[in-house]
Chain A
Amino acid sequence: MPKIKAPARSPHIDMTPMVDLFSLLLTFFMLTTSFRPQEAAPITTPSSVSEKQAPDNDIMTIFISKEGKVFFNIDNGKDTSTHFRAKLLVKMGEQYKITFDAKQLDKFGKMSSFGMPIKDVKAWINATDSKVRDKLQTGIPMDSTDNQLAWWIRMARLTNLGAEVAIKGDADTPYTDVKKIMDLLQENKVNKFNLVTNLQMEEITMKDLPK
């Protein structure tokens, strides 16, 4: 007797619902995405209860890594025609007698945070390999003889006076390093700082009042 054969099923699966779902997800991600900016060093920010959001535009960010290395970033401003980054670089070039050509300025405008002595900036812009680029990120020097960070801040203030200042420090950075930068900013008439933190809710009510 021949065995009863199970009817051969077609190996096809109907993928339409899956595709539907995927397209939905894809659309969602594409619409909500704002790309995570590249950062020069891993920084773990301390947490706070503050719910205020950092502004999108007109913000100058100073990154302080655990070892006290300092990186700098400024955006191009709300209006794309302002080109604050390029203008800043031109000003810095004038200060340190370095000229950048139009192509380099344009490329610099599209890049993000940086931290290297001004003499290495050109190499950083021209580098095509990201490894080479990362190696150049040694932190902005801030010795008392040649305080380049002070110049970056001053020139950035001159370029975009409306820019707010954010400080993104690692939780374990010594306070003295942060203080040095805050003093530097205060010398440039910045008295309001935005300290970048993680949100960690903590609410206390009347019940927590000690008797």
Chain B
Amino acid sequence: MRTRDTNKEDVVKQKAIEMLVKYGIEGFGMNRLAKESGVSVATLYIYYTDKDDLIKKIGTEIGQAFFSEMIKDFSPTMSFKEGLRKQWENRARFALKNPLKVACWEALSHSSYRDSLLEESLAEFKSAMWHFIENAFERKELLPISIEVFWSVAYGPLYALLRFENEGKSFNGMPFKLTQEKMDEAFELVIKALTP
């Protein structure tokens, strides 16, 4: 009789995420995953119907963890500055704690899996963020700009800093550490740029 072992399943998930980051979706295979996580191919197929199913389930799980972390202690009724600061904190915390998951999410959300993953994970988060931005417009706390420009200016600097932090160095191999001061400095500039 084959039973489901949740420890084993966690190992499989962890390995799958590592392999998706390392080899990409094309280079990822069930046989290889079974070998690297020390389970039989049969066990893997007990958990997942096929490669597609596995990638979708793992992607959705990461997406849900990611988005539920993002709306932690966040409310769409917050003032624009307060709400955006919370978004920065939440996004930075998740990215620093889960660099592999974030890399995997990046890879999957730029693939053909994008639509099915976003649909599964995103609904609640999307609605909260829309309300937040609409409120900011209404209160005239945010310049009337397109959503793409908003996103780029609001989060671009944060993700650039997080990338330096992940690599541990900046230009010419200079060591880099993301401190609270640097975060605050960048955040204030973002607020300056986005508010009337």
Check if A and B associate.
Answer: no
Binding site for B on A (CB under 8 A): none
